[in-house]
Amino acid sequence: MSQDAVDPSRRAWVGIACGAGALGGVAAAVPFVSSFAPSERAKAAGAPVEVDISSLKPGEMATVEWRGKPVWILRRTPEQVAELPKLDAKLADPDSKRKPDELTPEYARNKGRSRKPEYLVAVGICSHLGCSPSAKLAAGAQPGLPEDWHGGFFCPCHGSMFDLAGRVFKNVPAPDNLEVPPHMYLSDSKLLIGEDKKA
Annotated catalytic residue, options 128, 150, 158, 183:
158
Closer residue to ligand FES (CB): 125 or 138: 125
Closer residue to ligand FES (CB): 30 or 178: 178
Q: Is the dihedral of CA 170, 174, 175, 178 positive or negative?
A: negative
Rounded to whole angstroms, the Cα distance separating 113 from 97 reads 11
Spatial CB neighbours of 41, under 8 Å, sequence gap ≥ 6: 47
* Smallest separation (angstroms) from ligand FES to the CB of 130: 6
Q: State which amino acid sits at residue 114.
A: S
**What is the DSSP pairing of strand 183-185 with strand 152-155?**
unpaired
* Smallest separation (angstroms) from ligand FES to the CB of 138: 20
Q: Is the dihedral of CA 45, 132, 104, 174 positive or negative?
A: negative
* Smallest separation (angstroms) from ligand FES to the CB of 180: 18
Closer residue to ligand FES (CB): 86 or 158: 158
Closer residue to ligand FES (CB): 178 or 180: 178
158 is catalytic: yes
Closer residue to ligand FES (CB): 60 or 176: 176
Rounded to whole angstroms, the Cα distance separating 173 from 175 reads 6
Which H or E run contains 52? Answer: strand 49-52
Cα 82 → chain centroid: 17
Beta bridge partners of 162: 153, 168
Q: Which positions lie near ligand FES, rule CB under 6 A?
A: 126, 128-131, 155, 157-160, 173-174
* Smallest separation (angstroms) from ligand FES to the CB of 5: 25
Rounded to whole angstroms, the Cα distance separating 4 from 62 reads 12
Q: State which amino acid sits at residue 110.
A: N
* Smallest separation (angstroms) from ligand FES to the CB of 145: 14
- Where in the sequence numbering do the catalytic residues fall? 158
